[in-house]
Each structure stands twice: as C-alpha cells, then as structure tokens.
Amino acid sequence: MEERKGIVASRQGPLTLMGPAVAVGDKAPDFTVLDQKGQLVRLSDFKGMVKVISVTPSLDTPVCDLQARRFNNEAAALPAGIVVLNVSMDLPYAISRFCTSAGIDSVVALSDHREASFGMAYGVLIKESRLLARAVFIVDRNDIIRYQEIVPVLSNHPDYEKALAALRNVIGPALAA
C-alpha cells in the first residue's frame, strides 16, 4: 500500500496519505461509495458527464459545511451534463441529515466510509484518522482528470475560484455562460 507524507497537515502536524497520487491527465479511477440511502454509487454511474468532486473530511465541521454549501450554490447554476459530488467519510444517514438541514439539494453527497474506495483510488485517505483529505477534482466527460487540488492544511478551504475557472475551461465558453 502506497503511503505519501508531506502533502497535507493538520494543526497537530504532518499526515500520511494512503493510495497512489493521481494527476491531471490521468484516467479517473472508478470507485464505489454509498449514497444517502446506503445504495452503491460508482464514478461510472456518471458516464458522459463532467464531474466536480468536492472532498471533505467530515460535513460536521465548519469548513466542510461551508465547502458543501459553496459547491451546492455553484451546482444550482450549472448547465445539464455537469454533476457535483461531495465525498466524505460520514455515514450515509449523517450525510442525509446534514443535507436536509443545510438545504443541500444540488450536490450528490456520498459516503466513502465502508471501503474507503474513493480515498484509496485518489490517494486522499488519511492514515492517521481514516478521514479524507480536503480536495477538489474535476473530471471531464471522458473520465480524464482535468484539475486537482489537495488542500495542504486540512482546516483551509480549497481555492474555489481556481476550481471554477478550471471547470469553465473543461465545459467550454458556450456552456459556462
């Protein structure tokens, strides 16, 4: 099992990421996660769509809450053919409760808690806590990774503007308007 150090840290210090590093230009690895009802969901379920994958350690923290709300607001204005996924290690029922109370209805919120399939495939599983590192991936219609950001400090936000600019580059100017 590949381990990578020095990429992310918490306030307590450096953390270890499990799984291989993925890079822009790589084929996006498939994964198996759970939806809010406990049903299996795979990346391949969104074939032919542009995917924005927002990764949060736990929706029950202030930065993760704001990240989910920000991407939910952005997702509401996106054209058809684009899906925004939020992946965390939260249990499906906790995700459902969060989404209901926060009004998250434009993002598909998913749980990686069962197998850590997403975390291991994208190299963002934190060994010390079995949470996911905060990250954003943009995957094009052909399942090629076109953007990635792994946030170096877990308590910091991703660069939303940079991610949205990358999304506009992927979907093209006609769709971005």
Report d(CA 142, CA 27) in Å as an integer. 8
What pLDDT is attached to residue 169?
A: 94
Catalytic pick among 64, 99, 125, 136:
64
Q: Is 64 a catalytic residue?
A: yes
Tokens of 105: 């209805």
Q: Pick out the chain residues at pLDDT < 50.
A: 174, 176-177
Alpha helices in the chain (DSSP H): 62-76, 92-102, 117-122, 160-171, 173-176
Instruction: Say whether pTM exceeds 0.85.
Output: yes
What pLDDT is attached to residue 176?
A: 45
> Crossing angle, helix 160-171 and helix 62-76, to 10 degrees?
30
Q: What is the CATH number of domain 3-171?
A: 3.40.30.10
> Would you put residue 150 in left (φ > 0), alpha (ψ -120 to 50) or beta?
beta
Contact call for residues 57 and 154 (beta carbons, < 8 A): yes
